[in-house]
Every structure is written in structure tokens, then in C-alpha cells.
Chains A and B, each alone.
Chain A
Amino acid sequence: MRGATSAPRSLGWLLLPALLVLALFLGSVALLLFHAFWNKDGFSLVYFRQILERADYHDVFLRTVSIAAIVAVAAAVLAYPIAWLLWRLPRWRNLLLVIVLVPWLVSLVVRTYGWLVILGPKGFLNETLKWAGVIQSPLPLIFNDLGVVIGLTHVLMPFSVIATLSVLLQIDNRLEEASESLGAGGFETWRRVVLPLSLPGVFTGLSITFLTSMGAIVTPILLGGIRQKMAGTQIYQEVVYNFNMSKASAWAICLLLLSGLGLALLRAAEAALVPKADR
């Protein structure tokens, strides 16, 4: 056996896979930048100009950001009570966590098709409402922005649940007892102690779901309207159907910048809302 001091050198080859991944990543980014900024005459912003000058593309960006924001907020709002319940019921936590996560065992495409069965014009929901006499003609729940929001929220909500739960689990339950001994009821304790301390988890969830929604492709393709594209589907179309790598790359960079902007806004909101809780 050789001494521990020689271990770093002899184990250096373990870095190889990581370096390979890094090289692949940096290569792809370089390729992306090359496609976006270079045409046959050299450096050019022509592809960006093409995108920024078209009003219908503005709509696509606006829709992407709006849908991502709505999905992030909806997922956070729906996930909070679930995370709270999981936190409150330690005995049931594992079982409930499995229930929250089990949809992930099914492929995204299959899960998304599931919504067709439920929300489609002849789907379960519309048929039930028609049978109950609430509506005469089917509600347009799908193949539009509403369908995309429902589908993405469903897919991404578990991220929000887990992000929120992980922060809730760090809260010392003596804090609640302290609050109670100072005269606070359950709701008051939640509002003044638990909620502020769990906000960092909520913001982590918002960031994850927002960013993932910004780049969504499958859900908008399957559940969205044909003319109501999102940035992801636009890039997909440029790559797969139009073979326009340059335009796709320019799109991707615009999307990246927009996502970064969104993330910066989220961080600013968090800094303003969440007092620094130093433990």
C-alpha cells in the first residue's frame, strides 16, 4: 500500500469523466455561440435582429415568460399545503412523499397524454360537466395556454413540494412551542414563525419551476395550441424541422438571458421578503 499523500496523484484519473463532461458542455456552448454570432461573413447579429424585429416572436417570449411565471406561482401555492401536511404528519410522511413522487415513475409523454384523457373536448371532465348539466358545449381546457399551464404545473409541482418540505423540516419545533407559550394560536404561529422561515424553500421551488417551465418543450407541444408557441417549441421547430441552427442558437441565447433576468428578479424578491435568518 502506498502512503495517503500519494493518493491524490494516483486517483487523478477519476477526474477524467468529469473533465469529459466539462469539455462536452463547453464545446456545446462554444458551438451555440458560434452558430448564433457567426454567419458566412463573420461576426453578425443578423439572427438576433431577425428575432427581435418580428412582433409574433415578441408574443412567443411574452407567452413563455407569462406561462412560466403562472406555473411557478401555481405550483408554489398548490405545493405549500402539501409540504405543510407532509411536515405535520411525520408518520405518514414517507407514504405521502411516495404518492407525490409516483407520477415521476411514468414517462413525461405518458403523463401529459393523461391530461388529454381528462381535459380533452370529449375528456372525462367535460363529459362529466355535460352530464351534470353544468355546460352545454365542451370547455376549451386543452390545446391552449390553459392546457400548458395545467400540464406544466402538474409535472413540476413535486419540485416545489420537496423544496418547501426540506426547509420546513429544518424548523425547530421548539420555535412553535415558544410561540404558543407566548400566546399565539396555530395560525398566528404559522404566519409569524413558520411561513417566514419556510419562504426560502418556497423561493427555491419558484426558481426551479420557473426555469424548467421557461425551457419546456414536450408539454407545450402536446397540450398547447398549434399557433401558440413557447420559446422551447420554437427552438425545437428551428432545429428539427427547419435545420436552422443559427436561428435556434440565437433563440436559445435570448431564452437564456430572459431566464437569467427572471431568476435575478426572483432573488431580489426573496432578498426583500425574507429576512436573513441566521442560525
Chain B
Amino acid sequence: MSRGSISIDGVGKAFGTATVLHEVNLSIEGGSFVTLLGPSGCGKTTLLRLIAGFLEPSRGTIAIDGAPMQGVPPRRRPLGMVFQNLALFPHLDVFENVAYGMRIRGTAASEIAARVSRFLGLVGLAGFERRRIGQLSGGQKQRVALARSLALEPAILLLDEPLSALDLQLRRQLQVELKSIQRQLATTFVFVTHDQEEATMLSDTIVVMEGGHVRQVGTPGEIYRRPASPFVARFVGDINMLDGRIEAVDATTVSVSVAGQAISVPRSAVVGAASAGRACQLACRPESVRLTTQAGTLSLEGRVSALHRLGPTVKAVLDTPLGPLTALSMADTPHVAELAEGKTAHLSVPYDTFTLFAST
């Protein structure tokens, strides 16, 4: 395993009587890009600060590359951090900001100059050495912060929503660069965000958090296709949720009734323990709702109540006997061109695209 692995074992954190993190177990592989994803107040920043050492866990242990980190101050941990507000030193120029860590270590001046220019080159800021921080744009500050924390070549880089203050276009551009820098250096990146699109685009592994709990750990694909709970399903991308009741369970299928209509889904679609008589939620992604009739699928008719043409795709909300369903189709698929608000449309949902959450 490459360096920069983190193992988080039973870590909890309470401030006074308020528990902000419950029993987190997480193993982060060295050299991977891991995102802590969740709504504000879910404990993701707390977890990041625990890894950084700015907070000590109330319970449990954190180890980096096998070495326990208990009582080790941030400056002795093999990690760098990029702060949400970047925390660049306003009284130092770009060069001195990037050189800061090396000055503390007493690195030779020639080595400092070489490394500063190497890392400023890496983030695309060659030639900006003598600029003042106040003269930089938001994106440039972002790059300086990245270069500053990478210049010490830490095994792990922690990033606390560093892109949240930037406009969308710049954000997308920096995401691409961030990913490419991470691949080049093979440094472990632990990235905190509340933006699921950002998480999906950047990460090898996404850790979805809610209310101080880790709800799911997986690749972006796994989290999207097989969410572990209705919360994760709703948080990561759009999803249709239908309330129903489990009618029968057999070896291969589970029968559910939704608004009086029977739907059979494969057993593999079930999350949780399915037993007859239980309430459940049936979920499917909008792109699984097709605007065609197809054999072997759940076929419905619905009236278009809202229609959004988004360029390459079309998003339609349909009133069906099961309740409102959102459908997302490519604009050039058959029948989509004729869609209009108020019109009736046929739609079909393949049974194997459902996820069934059995209530506990």
C-alpha cells in the first residue's frame, strides 16, 4: 500500500453534551481521492479537523500509515491542509506563502527557490512569485493555497470545501486540475464538500455523512446506483421515491403495492430486511423512467405537469396513478419531441432499476 493511508477506528467527538460525531469507522487507502460528503452540520468538517489534529477525538483512534496520532500536534502529522477561507498569509507575497513551511524547517534557500517554482508551476502560477495576496483573484488564491500545502510534499492533503467560494465555471476548471494534480503526486486527498456533483466528479471513494454518522462508503457509481438508505439516495442526485407496502416475498422477487398497483422487483434491489406487510419506499432515478412503452417493464400513463428542456436532456414531471414521477431523457429519443405540458405520455420503468428500501 502506498503511503498516506488513514485508519479511523471507532472515532466519536462530543462538544460538551452535543455529540457531533458518532462511532466513525473508516479506512482510507494511501494515494486515493476520498470525499466526505454531507449536508452542513453532518460532522464532515469535524472529522477532517480530527484527522488534522486540530481536535482530539472523544473516543476511538486515528492512525496514519499505522502510526497512532493520539496526542500528536498538527505540525507533527504528515499532512497538509487547505482551509475553506484559504488562510493565506496576507503580509507575505506568493513566494513567501509557498515557502513558509520550508522556512520553518530551515530548508536551504536554493532548495526553497527550486521547490517554490516547481509547485507554482504545478498549479499554473509561474511568474506570480512577487505578487501580493490581495492582488490575486479567487482562483489564483486557491492555487497558492494548494501550492503552499503541497510544497512540503505531505502524504495526505486535507481540503475543507476549498472551492465553495468560486463561481461555477472556475470551480469546474479547478476540479479538473485538482484531480490531475492528485493523480500526478499520488498524495492522499481527503476532500470535504456538500456538493454531490463535485464529489462524484473528483472521488475514488465517497463517504456520505449525515447527523454525525457515516451513512455509506463507496465509489461514486456504487453510491449512485445502490444507495444504502433513502437519505443517501436523495442526497446524491435526483430520485423518485414511492411509498408502498411489501405484499409478498419469494426466492427471486418481492411484490410491492404502490397506490393499489402491484410492482414486482428482483430481490437484489432490496436494501434492508424485506418481509411481507412492511412499509417500504421504492426508488428509481429519473433517467430510468423511459418515455416509451416496453415489454417487461412497469408501464404507466401520466399527464405532463412540468417540462424542462435543458439542451441535451429533457426533464418531465408526470402525474401518474402512483404519484408524481420525474423522467429524464435525451432530447433526441423518440416521443420526447412531441411532449408538452398537459399532454398524456406513456412511460415505462424497468423493474431492475428500482431500489427498494424496507422500513425498519
Contact = CB atoms under 8 A, between A and B. Distances in A.
A9 interface: no
B163 interface: no
Interface in B78-135: 79-81, 83-85, 87-92, 100-101, 103-105, 132-135
A172 interface: yes
Contacts of B80: 181-182
A275 interface: yes
Interface stretch (A14-22, A108-116, A190-198): A190-198
A276 interface: yes
Chain B contact patch, size range: 20 to 34
B35 interface: no
Contact of A179 (B100, B105, B133): B100
B152 interface: yes
Interface in A137-196: 172, 174-175, 177-185, 188, 192-193, 196
A175 B145 CA distance: 12
Contact of B74 (A180, A188, A193): A180
B149 A181 contact: yes
Contacts of B88: 178
Contacts of A177: 54, 74, 81, 83, 87
A278 B105 CA distance: 26
A111 to B, nearest CB: 37
B134 A181 contact: no
Contact of A172 (B75, B87, B105): B87
A228 to B, nearest CB: 42
Contacts of B336: none
A185 B101 CA distance: 11
Contacts of A54: none
B148 interface: yes
Given A275-B91, A278-B90, A278-B133, A182 B85 contact: no
Interface in B31-58: 52, 54
Given A181-B149, A183-B104, A278 B87 contact: no
B50 to A, nearest CB: 14
A175 to B, nearest CB: 5
Contact of B75 (A180, A193, A276): A180
B87 A175 contact: yes
A275 B83 CA distance: 23
Contact of A278 (B52, B74, B132): B132
Given A174-B83, A177-B81, A184 B91 contact: no
A188 B104 CA distance: 8
A7 interface: no
Contacts of A278: 90, 132-135
Contacts of B103: 192
Given A177-B54, A177-B81, A182 B148 contact: yes
Given A174-B83, A276-B132, A279-B134, A182 B91 contact: no
Given A188-B104, A278-B135, A279-B90, A181 B79 contact: yes
B144 to A, nearest CB: 12
A270 to B, nearest CB: 13
Contacts of A105: none
Given A180-B74, A181-B81, A182-B152, A277 B104 contact: no
Interface string B143-162: 00000110010000000000
B91 A196 contact: yes
B89 A193 contact: yes
Contacts of A180: 54, 73-75
B109 to A, nearest CB: 16
A58 to B, nearest CB: 41
B104 A178 contact: no
Contacts of B101: 182-183
Nearest to A199: B91
Contacts of A183: 75, 101, 104-105, 152
Contacts of B89: 175, 178-179, 193
Contacts of A174: 83-85, 87
A188 B75 CA distance: 12
Contacts of A274: 91
Contacts of A188: 104
A251 B91 CA distance: 42
B175 to A, nearest CB: 22
Interface in A181-225: 181-185, 188, 192-193, 196-197
Nearest to B145: A178
Nearest to A197: B91
Given A183-B75, A197-B90, A178 B134 contact: no
A191 to B, nearest CB: 10
B151 to A, nearest CB: 9
Contacts of A193: 89, 91
Given A177-B74, A183-B75, 8 more contacts: A175-B87, A177-B54, A178-B87, A180-B73, A181-B81, A182-B104, A182-B152, A278-B90
Interface of B: 52, 54, 73-75, 79-81, 83-85, 87-92, 100-101, 103-105, 132-135, 148-149, 152
24 contacts: A174-B83, A174-B85, A175-B89, A177-B54, A178-B87, A180-B75, A181-B52, A181-B75, A181-B149, A182-B80, A182-B101, A182-B148, A182-B149, A182-B152, A183-B104, A183-B152, A184-B75, A184-B104, A188-B104, A192-B103, A196-B91, A197-B91, A277-B91, A278-B132
Interface of A: 172, 174-175, 177-185, 188, 192-193, 196-197, 274-279
Shortest 3 CB-CB contacts between residues of A and residues of B: A278-B134, A182-B101, A178-B87
